Structure 1
Amino acid sequence: MDDAQAEILRRLDRLESRDEIRQLISKYSIALDMRDMDALAGLFLPDVKVGPDKSGRAALRDFFDDTMRKQFDGTSHHVGSTVIEFIDSENAVGVVYSKNEHETGAEWVIMQMMYYDRYRRVDGRWHFARRQPLYWYATDLNKPPIGSRKMRWPGREPYEGAFHALFPSWKEYWDRGGPSDAPVAEPAPLEEFIETMRRGNEVRGNRVR
């Protein structure tokens, strides 16, 4: 096989992988909303970390089962803007917007959030290695979440989400008070848009869901 053929195969694999990961993301929403906890757990790596001291698909299945049973009568997760970038042929990262609806007792809670994902291919299939939820708001359908502490679930005090916390640009934008006088940065390299925006920033304390 010559270099040109190898490059074609590499690009074809990248296209197929990107499509498989998009399918993975959509399967997550369907499995979660239909409460198929086995199908949901199967989308993650076999040794997925669950909380501070548990791991494995069985532990993840139990976590989702308990969370969904206690908090929600029904849910619908709508996938929006999605960017997937490859670290190498077996690892990728992604940012996925999600607009969600939740029936929770007498209230109908809507939510806007994003996931910061890590994906890994094992035995020829792509899986979630990690899903980190970053929240903007959650509120009853009839109560617009104006102001601070936009996470407003029934039965608990409002609190701040972490929707903007992964990307330093949000705070910098408001801190500078006007247009920047710095030179325009060079466009991010291909497959590095997310990580260029993130600039190594981490968000701690949000559980993977």
Structure 2
Amino acid sequence: MTTSTWPSTLEERIDRLESIDAIRQLAGKYSLSLDMRDMDAHVNLFAPDIRVGKDKVGRAHFKAWQDQTLRDQFTGTSHHLGQHIIEFVDSGHATGVVYSKNEHECGPEWVIMQMLYWDDYERIDGQWYFRRRLPCYWYATDLNKPPIGDMKMRWPGREPYWGTFHDLFPSWKEFWALRPDKDSLPQVAAPAPLEQFLKTIRRGTPAPKMRVR
């Protein structure tokens, strides 16, 4: 079913509300299982055939990659979720954006981070899962070093690099490229249609691709 026909009945509207809550719970479970290092609980939040890198598929490969990443880079982590926007493609697929403010113990340094996740969700056998999570970073830096300026991703032992926090949304570059005329009122676009806010704010650009690590 497409968004033009779903939800239409009372049962479908109730299902939509229950799905929103289930997806929000999914994001919360992601943070808790990651921070508490319960790798089985964590990988089971993703579709059974989740892709890992270019040529690996399945939760076992995802668990192996996640385990190594956490052991190699972090002593401890804490993920604090912010606003969560969810829009449905149909009754079994949805997209979402979740803000996350994170803290990381990286040996002798305490790294804070601001980011968002661009998510794809899928309902499989009646349960919602992550189909994909694309992390988009604004900054990461030592607690005592504000990330002023460019290249805000500043991890211990690495050269600073650019995050992708604003790259998904053309409005960021549009805002800075164009200064409105102070003597005239600006035009205001029509509000986004139902279930089309994220698509509208992204100006219809294609869904982002997961970076291969």
**What's the TM-score, normalizing by structure 1?**
0.93
- The SS at the match of 1:22 is helix
Instruction: Map 1:53-132 to 2 at 5 A.
Output: 53-132=55-134
CA distance in 2, matches of 1:12, 1:125: 15
**What's the C-alpha RMSD, in Å, of the aligned pairs?**
1.6
Give deviations 1:50-87, integer Å, cap 9, x for gaps: 11111110111111101000000000000101100101
Query: Is contact 2:54–2:212 with CA below 8 Å preserved after alignment?
Result: no
In 2, Cα distance between equivalents of 1:34 and 1:130: 21
**Pair 1:73–1:28, CA change in 2 (3 A):** same
**Structure 1 residue 194 corresponds to structure 2 residue 203:** no
Letter of the 1:13 partner, please give it: D
* Alignment size in residue pairs: 203
| TM-score, normalising length: structure 2 | 0.91
Partner of residue 3, structure 1: none
Q: Percent identity?
A: 62
**1:184 aligned partner:** 188
Unpaired stretches in structure 1, ≥5 consecutive residues = 1-5
Q: Is the 8 A contact 1:150 1:158 kept in 2?
A: yes
Deviations along 1:155-197, whole A, 9 cap, x unmatched?
A: 0000000000001000000011336976311100111101111
Verify the 8 A CA contact 1:115 1:134 in the aligned structure 2.
yes
**Match of 1:158?**
160
CA–CA distance in structure 2, aligned partners of residues 45 and 29 of structure 1: 17
Question: Contact between 1:133 and 1:206, CA under 8 Å: does it hold in 2?
Answer: no
In 1, distance between residues paired with 2:106 and 2:185? 48
